[in-house]
């Protein structure tokens, strides 16, 4: 096993004292970046990139990848505590994580989230260690049609599993698509739906929408309900971590499934966000307690977090092996590689062995160190909810405003955030689900792009979505997911008829 | 590792403050220097050619201590870079903001009609010009641009060309190829040069017009093959890359019957109303950047054309290029409707 001996050499590199220090600094910075909405992993890595120029490439990539792991961990914290996703991929974590916090189970939710993140990342790293070249080649099979298939599957599994009336889900999703269409049309290079108003040139940034819809919307609702957090009863319990750990092995099927979904989505450059949504949707459909999802089910935290981390980690694989970044953060890391004088791509594994295996070894150790750091802080994070609402609400508001501002350094975005907050409040009051809307804003323009690219290539023929087994299978899965409830009812009726 | 850098910049700021206090008492005018961190705007997303160049410059400036104030790199990619250009335009009189440009300096306002023109900005320097090559998959039989174009003609408009963005440089070159040869391509816009190269590696398209540094790793890896370069002469780089060939061995497209020349500007502009002292300061910094080993390596890896221009020469070059882009885009029907 040449891989194993290479890996051990990598461990030897990473375990030098300087590299361990770099690792801890990276994780802590990453968690801070993940907690701040707006300052996403990609921006954080980009801002901190210059710090690494004076290091050796191996130390530098350890630092940057640890920032990345830290950001992946940190994204979950504000999602669970305040319903404000720090990162796009932690949106799905809010669905059950925040209700858990409201029921005084913030510690459990955080522990579950962190542990699942770790499991997902570990699974992906093991996959990278063992089958890197094989998986990398698979990613190449994904052209526009296949990419659209993946997005289609994500949307369908969401509509199909929704417990709200399907029409409300579809309506919310369509608002999301409309918002995603604003700005520059990638396919024609023309501005759309901006009505000559220049600030709309960049479209509605997903993060602004999410900070408004979830964060501000939540504050408005809480204000109406009597100015207090329901999570106030949370007791600080240092043993909460171990108690939660006892429960977790019960959900191994969900974990494993989410790992596979995550790795697949990470490698096929769809990324961590659709992975987390899809994994949540499928878990809801498959779980025995699926009907209770959205009311604080621990499985609803495990599924998206595991998948997001598996995807976030495996997204680095195509970057290393093909020079194709699987996520925006990976794209910044790619820029870093070039600055350090390394050429990503098929030759990296041969020309710069030390570097590649040092990085892979740092993925193992970085995640372990990260898990230890965030878990020790769980009781402290959970204690934040004990602060009275009248003190914390203004802080959250300011924090949301800073987050929204920092996305594009623009005041207009802060105004947009407030508008989205009001929209979120009304949608919640009318029982429209916010999740499909957000999903459509995140993936809408990407899905549209691959759809139109496919049709350009096929000269308008829809048959391109059935043109090979890969895209055909994905599309078929999507359709099954979309009509799942109908299929299920028909099946039960048929069975009843046969037995009768 | 952060500590030394921070103490250094604090020390520098303090020294500068003292220096300013002293000079204000003395009537002689000292040359301008930044008094705050300098924002370096990239009107493109992370990971692309402009981004890599800007971040390399930032690294060089930091490592060799070329500026007393830190340089902060910010991506403003929205609206095909329009976000970044409008930001610089709106920051008139702020000498602590510079922008690196690519061809979207011309193409974005022409295609979208946003209220911006390069004349709104203050030109600083041309750092280099980026080359374009015609690439095909290494497993295809085409050994020359001529063979490939002949095959494309026979295929009757079913060959696919992927490129970055819509109505930007890659599509302009594609249009020019169609006009000159009569071959028809289906143009498929992608988000960035990296994604374009991967579509070709995965054989989802037939060719691309990637910049050298966007496809070099795939060429090295034996999956892509360059057919010709869209320049008037062959590139000067002799280091062997793959198949025993160097960038310098790639023939010009002109020699293959494709009489097209296209180079993309990698240049620096400042906010409107910058003074000569301020422009000269940045020119001085970039001259020092160009002398470093890191810069030379970036140039060689990306096979850049290393033309450097400042002042009236640069302004004249930009004006000519704008006119050329307007003509090319008018011919292709890419101009925004007024």
Q: Best interface-test mutation with A: which of B8, B44, B55 has the largest number of A CBs within 10 A?
A: B55
Nearest-neighbour CA in chain B from A313: distance (Å): 18
pLDDT of B19: 44
Contact between A211 and A408 under an 8 Å Cβ cutoff? The reply is no
Between A and B, how many residue pairs show a Cβ–Cβ distance under 8 A? 155
Q: Which of A51, A186, A332 sits opposite B189 (nearest CB)?
A: A186
Strand order in the sheet with B309-310: B71-75, B38-42, B97-101, B264-270, B122-130, B309-310
The pLDDT assigned to B28 comes to 45
- Residue B233 maps to a domain: yes
pLDDT for B278 = 95
> What confidence category does residue B249 fall into, taking pLDDT thresholds of 50, 70 and 90?
very high
Together in a domain, B53 and B143: no
Query: Residues 320-339, chain A: which have Cβ within 8 Å of B?
Result: 322-325, 328, 331-332, 334-336, 338-339
Higher per-residue confidence, A329 vs A496: A496
Rounded CA gap, A239 and A379, in Å? 9
Q: A284 falls in which pLDDT band (50, 70, 90)?
A: confident
B80 and B113 co-located in one domain: yes
Helix (H, G, I), strand (E, B) or coil at B160: strand
In chain A, which residues have their Cβ closer than 8 Å to the Cβ of B51? 335
CA dist B259 and B271 (Å) reads 37
Higher per-residue pLDDT: A201 or A347: A201
Q: Strand pairing of B185-190 and B159-164?
A: parallel
Are B79 and A191 within 8 A, CB to CB?
yes
Do residue B288 and residue B312 come from a single domain?
yes
pLDDT exceeds cutoff 90 at B31: no
Gap from B301 CA to chain A (nearest CA, Å): 9
State the CATH number of the domain containing residue B284. 3.40.190.150
DSSP A278-346: HHHHHHHHHSTTGGGTTS--THHHHHHHHHHHHHHHHTHHHHHHHS--SSHHHHHHHHHHHHTT---ST
Antiparallel, parallel or unpaired: β B264-270 and B97-101: antiparallel
Reduced to 3 states (helix: H, G, I; strand: E, B; else coil), residue A404 is helix
Confidence (pLDDT) at B1: 33
User: For the residues A10-32, what does the mean pLDDT come to?
Assistant: 87
**pLDDT in the model for residue A78:** 83
Q: Tell me how far the alpha carbon of residue A306 is from its chain's centroid.
A: 10
Cα dihedral value A451, A452, A458, A462, nearest 10: 50
Distance CA B163, CA B182 (A): 19
Residue B67 lies in a domain: yes
Name every chain A residue with its beta carbon within 8 A of the beta carbon of B199: 143-144
Q: Which residue of A has its CA nearest to B293?
A: A341
Average pLDDT in the B3-10 region? 39
The DSSP letter of residue B309 is E
pLDDT exceeds cutoff 60 at A344? yes
Top-confidence range, A227-236, B51-60, B267-276: B267-276
In a domain, B314, yes or no: yes
H or E segment at B245? Answer: strand B245-246
Position B327 pLDDT exceeds 70: yes
Given this model, what pLDDT does residue B3 score?
Answer: 38
Sign of CA dihedral B190, B194, B197, B203: negative
Same domain, B238 and B142: yes
Per the CB < 8 A criterion, the answer to whether A367 and A361 are in contact is no
Which pair of structure tokens corresponds to residue B130? Answer: 């980026």
- pLDDT tier, B47 (very low <50, low <70, confident <90, very high otherwise): low
CATH of the domain at B237: 3.40.190.10
- Whether B186 sits inside 8 A of A331 (CB atoms) is no
Instruction: Check residue A228 and give its pLDDT.
Output: 56
- Give chain A positions within 8 Å (CB) of B63: 53-54
Q: Are residues B249 and B302 in the same domain?
A: no
Beta bridge partner(s), residue B73: B40
Of A310-324, A443-457, A486-500, B137-151, least confident by mean pLDDT is: A310-324
Whether A346 and chain B come into contact, CB under 8 Å, resolves to yes
**Cβ burial A306-324 (10 Å sphere, 16+ → b, else e):** bbbbbbbbbbbbbbbbbbb
Whole-angstrom distance, CA of residue A342 vs CA of residue A9: 19
**Is the pLDDT reported for residue A308 higher than 80?**
yes
The answer to whether residues B88 and B139 belong to one domain is: no
Same domain membership, residue B137 and residue B238? yes
pLDDT confidence of residue B15: 45
How many domains are there within chain B? 2
Whether residues B153 and B244 fall in one domain? yes
Q: In this complex, is the C-beta atom of A38 within 8 Å of any C-beta atom belonging to chain B?
A: no
Q: Please work out, in degrees rounded to the nearest 5, the angle formed at the alpha carbon of residue A217 by the alpha carbons of A212 and A221.
A: 165
Interface of A with B in 6-35 (CB under 8 A): 22
How would residue B148 be classed by pLDDT, with cut points 50, 70 and 90? very high
Whether the CA torsion B278, B279, B280, B282 is positive or negative: it is: positive
Partners of A344 on chain B (C-beta within 8 Å) are 217
Evaluate if residue B94 carries a pLDDT over 80.
yes
Average confidence (pLDDT) over A242-270: 86
Same domain, B142 and B240: yes
> Which residue, among A353, A326, A323, A358, has the nearest Cα to A338 in the 3D structure?
A323
More confident residue, A465 or A246: A465
A192 vs A268, residue with greater confidence:
A192
Domain that holds residue B145: 133-256
Q: How far apart are CA B307 and CA A62, in angstroms?
A: 37
Residue B7 CA to residue A364 CA, distance in Å, equals 34
Do B160 and B237 belong together in one domain? yes
Average confidence (pLDDT) over B99-120:
94
Mean of all residue pLDDT scores within chain B = 88
- Residue range A480-499: average pLDDT? 85
| Contacts with B94 from chain A: Cβ below 8 Å | none
The Cα–Cα gap between A157 and A165 comes to 15
What is the pLDDT averaged over residues B308-329?
95
Give the DSSP letter string of A102-130: HTT-HHHHHHHHHHHHHHHHHHHHHHHHH
Mean pLDDT computed over A73-77: 83
pLDDT score of A280 more than 80: yes
Choose from A38, A139, A184, A406 for mutation: most chain B CBs within 10 A: A184
Across the interface, of B2, B52, B199, the residue whose CB is closest to A143 is B199
Closest residue of chain A to B78, computed from CA coordinates: A202
Q: With 60 as the cut, is the pLDDT of residue B25 above it?
A: no
B77: nearest CA partner in chain A: A202
pLDDT band at B77 (very low <50, low <70, confident <90, very high): confident
Of B221, B256, B291, which marks where a domain is finished?
B256
Which residue of chain B comes nearest to A42, CA vs CA?
A: B46
Q: What is the mean pLDDT of residues A39-66?
A: 74
pLDDT for A236 beyond 70? no
Confidence at residue A136, expressed as pLDDT on a 0 to 100 scale = 65
Look at residues B263, B336, B251 and name the one whose alpha carbon lies nearest to residue B304: B263
Q: Which two tokens stand for residue A466?
A: 């059935």
Distance from CA of A345 to the nearest CA of B (A): 5
Check pLDDT > 90 for residue A398.
no
Q: Look at chain A and report how many structural domains it folds into.
A: 1
Confidence class for position A147, pLDDT limits 50, 70, 90: confident
On whether the CB atoms of residues A248 and A306 are closer than 8 A, the answer is no
Which residues make beta-bridge pairs with B225? B136
> Which has more confidence, A161 or A154?
A154
B19 belongs to a structural domain? no
> Which of the two residues, B278 and A82, has the higher pLDDT score?
B278
Distance CA B293, CA A335 (A): 18
Hey, how many other C-beta atoms are within 10 angstroms of the C-beta on A500? Answer: 5
Q: Which single residue is written with the structure tokens 């710069």?
A: A352
The reported pLDDT for the residue numbered A325 is: 61
Looking at residue B291, its pLDDT comes to 95
Interface subset of A 167-186, CB within 8 angstroms of B: 183-186
Which of B47, B72, B202 lies at the smallest CB-CB distance from A325?
Answer: B47
Query: Which residue from A347, A351, A335, A333 is spatially nearest to A62, judged by alpha carbons?
Result: A333
Mean pLDDT value of segment A284-293: 82
Confidence of residue B40 (pLDDT cuts 50, 70, 90): very high
Q: Which candidate from A323, A346, A459 shows the least CB-CB separation from B194?
A: A323
Q: Which residue has the higher pLDDT, A5 or B134?
A: B134
| Among B216, B234, B256, residue at a domain's last position | B256
In angstroms, the CA A44 to CA B165 distance is 26
Which chain B residue has its CA at the smallest distance from A196's CA? B114
Answer with the residue of higher pLDDT: B27 or B112.
Answer: B112
User: What is the model's pLDDT at position A406?
Assistant: 76
Taking the C-alpha atoms of residue A276 and residue A282, their distance in angstroms, rounded to an integer, is: 10
Contact assignment for B166 to A185 by CB distance below 8 Å: yes
Cα separation, A275 vs A132, in Å, equals 20
Last residue of a domain, one of B256, B274, B302: B256
- pLDDT mean over B25-46: 77
Helix and strand numbers, DSSP H then E, in chain A: 24, 2
Model pLDDT, residue B104 = 93
Give the pLDDT confidence score for residue B222 in this predicted structure. 86
pLDDT for res A322: 66
B-chain residues near A191 (CB < 8 A):
79, 112-114
What is the distance between the terminal CA atoms of chain A, rounded to a whole angstrom? 59
Do B308 and B211 fall within a single domain?
no
Cross-chain Cβ contact A346/B201 below 8 Å: no
For residue A50, the chain B residues in CB contact (below 8 A) are 58-59, 62
Distance from CA of A209 to the nearest CA of B (A): 16
CA distance B19 to chain A (A): 28
Rounded mean pLDDT of B293-308? 91
Name the H helices within A385-434.
389-408, 411-429
pLDDT tens digits for A402-450? Answer: 878 877 778 898 999 999 999 999 998 998 888 788 888 878 888 899 9
Kindly report the number of other CB atoms within 10 A of residue A284's CB atom.
Answer: 25
Query: Order of strands across the sheet with B159-164?
Result: B185-190, B159-164, B207-208, B133-137, B224-229
- Judged by average pLDDT, the poorest of A222-226, A272-276, B216-220 is A222-226
Say yes or no for a CB contact (<8 Å) between A189 and B201.
Answer: no
**Structure tokens, A423:** 């929209």
CB A133: neighbour CB atoms within 10 A? Answer: 10
What does the pLDDT read at residue A255? 92
- Answer yes or no: is B278 within a domain: yes
- CB-based contact, A453 to chain B, within 8 Å: yes
Q: What percent of chain B has pLDDT over 90?
A: 68
Per-chain mean pLDDT for chain A: 82
- Map residue A27 onto helix, strand or coil: helix
CA A246, A249, A254, A259 torsion-angle sign: positive
| Structural domain of A71 | 2-499
What is the model's pTM?
A: 0.83
- Residue B190 host element (H or E): strand B185-190
- Identify the three-state secondary structure at position B222: coil
> Closest Cα partner for B209 from B244, B248, B261?
B261
Assess whether B230 and B180 both reside in one domain: yes
The two structure tokens encoding residue B193? 């040069």
**How far is the CA of A362 from the CAs of A322, A350, A368, in angstroms?**
20, 19, 10
């Amino acid at each position: 096993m040449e891989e194993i001996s290479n890996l051990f050499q990598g461990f030897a590199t990473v375990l030098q004292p300087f590299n361990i220090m770099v690792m801890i600094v990276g994780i802590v910075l990453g968690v801070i970046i993940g907690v701040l909405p707006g300052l996403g992993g990609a921006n954080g890595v980009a801002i901190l990139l210059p710090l690494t120029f004076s290091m050796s490439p191996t130390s530098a990539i350890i630092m940057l990848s640890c920032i990345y792991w830290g950001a992946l961990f940190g994204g979950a914290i504000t999602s669970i505590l305040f319903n404000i996703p720090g990162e796009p991929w932690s949106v799905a974590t809010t669905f059950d994580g925040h209700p858990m916090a409201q029921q005084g189970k913030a510690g459990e939710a955080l522990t579950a989230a962190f542990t699942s993140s770790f499991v997902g990342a570990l699974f992906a790293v093991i996959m990278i260690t063992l089958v890197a070249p094989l998986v990398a080649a698979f990613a190449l099979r994904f052209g526009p049609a296949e990419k659209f298939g993946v997005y289609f599957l994500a949307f369908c599994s969401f509509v199909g599993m929704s417990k709200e009336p399907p029409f409300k889900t579809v309506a919310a999703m369509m608002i999301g698509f409309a918002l995603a269409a604003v700005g520059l049309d990638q396919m024609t290079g023309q501005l759309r739906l901006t009505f000559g108003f220049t600030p709309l040139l960049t479209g509605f940034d997903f993060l602004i929408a999410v900070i408004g819809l979830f964060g501000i919307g939540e504050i408005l609702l809480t204000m109406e309900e009597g100015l207090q957090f329901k999570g106030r009863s949370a007791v600080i319990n240092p043993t909460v971590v171990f108690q939660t750990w006892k429960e977790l092995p019960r959900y191994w099927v969900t974990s494993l499934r989410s790992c596979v979904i995550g790795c697949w989505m990470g490698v096929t450059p769809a990324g961590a966000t659709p992975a987390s949504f899809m994994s949540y949707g499928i878990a809801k459909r498959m779980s025995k307690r699926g009907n209770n999802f959205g009311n604080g089910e621990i499985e609803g935290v495990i599924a998206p977090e595991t998948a997001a981390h598996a995807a976030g980690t495996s997204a680095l694989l195509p970057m290393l092996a093909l020079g194709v970044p699987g996520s925006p953060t990976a794209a910044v890391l790619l820029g870093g590689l070039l600055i350090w004088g390394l050429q990503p791509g098929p030759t990296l594994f041969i020309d710069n062995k030390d570097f590649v295996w040092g990085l892979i070894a740092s993925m193992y150790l970085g995640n372990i160190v990260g898990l230890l750091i965030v878990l020790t802080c769980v009781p402290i994070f959970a204690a934040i909810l004990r602060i009275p609402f009248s003190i914390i609400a203004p802080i959250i508001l300011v924090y949301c405003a800073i987050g929204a501002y920092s996305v594009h350094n623009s005041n207009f975005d802060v105004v947009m955030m407030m508008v989205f907050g009001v929209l979120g409040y009304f949608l919640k009051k009318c029982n429209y689900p916010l999740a499909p809307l957000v999903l459509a804003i995140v993936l809408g323009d990407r899905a549209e792009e691959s759809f139109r690219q496919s049709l350009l290539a096929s000269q308008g023929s829809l048959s391109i979505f059935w043109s090979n087994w890969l895209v055909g299978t994905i599309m078929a899965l999507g359709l099954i997911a979309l009509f799942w409830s109908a299929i299920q009812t028909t099946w039960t009726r048929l069975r009843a008829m046969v037995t009768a | 590792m952060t500590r030394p850098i921070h103490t250094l910049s604090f020390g520098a700021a303090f020294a500068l403050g003292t220096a300013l206090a002293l000079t204000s008492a003395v009537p002689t005018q000292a040359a301008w220097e930044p008094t705050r961190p300098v924002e370096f705007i990239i009107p493109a997303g992370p990971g692309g050619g402009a981004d890599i160049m800007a971040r390399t410059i930032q690294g060089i400036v930091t490592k060799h201590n070329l500026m007393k104030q830190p340089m902060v790199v910010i991506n403003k990619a929205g609206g095909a870079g329009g976000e970044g250009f409008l930001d610089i335009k709106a920051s008139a009189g702020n000498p602590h903001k510079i922008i690196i440009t690519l061809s979207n300096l011309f193409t974005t306002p022409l295609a979208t009609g946003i209220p911006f023109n390069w004349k709104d900005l203050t030109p600083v320097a041309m750092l280099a010009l980026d080359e374009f090559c015609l690439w095909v998959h290494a497993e295809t039989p085409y050994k020359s641009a001529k063979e490939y174009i002949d095959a494309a003609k026979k295929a009757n408009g079913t060959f696919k060309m992927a490129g970055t963005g819509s109505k930007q440089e890659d599509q302009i070159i594609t249009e020019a190829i169609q006009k000159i040869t009569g071959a028809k391509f289906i143009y498929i816009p992608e988000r960035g040069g990296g994604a374009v190269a991967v579509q070709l590696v995965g054989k989802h398209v037939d060719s691309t017009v990637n910049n050298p540094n966007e496809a070099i790793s795939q060429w090295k890896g034996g999956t892509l093959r360059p057919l010709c370069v869209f320049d008037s002469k062959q590139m000067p780089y002799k280091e062997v890359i793959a198949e025993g060939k160097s960038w310098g061995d790639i023939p010009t497209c002109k020699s293959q019957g494709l009489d097209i020349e296209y180079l993309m500007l990698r240049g620096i502009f400042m906010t409107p109303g910058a003074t000569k002292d301020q422009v000269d300061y940045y020119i001085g910094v970039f001259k020092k950047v160009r002398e470093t080993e890191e810069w030379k390596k970036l140039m060689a890896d990306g096979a850049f054309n290393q033309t450097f221009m400042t002042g009236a020469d640069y302004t004249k070059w930009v004006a000519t290029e704008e006119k050329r882009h307007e003509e090319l885009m008018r011919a292709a029907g890419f101009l925004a409707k007024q």
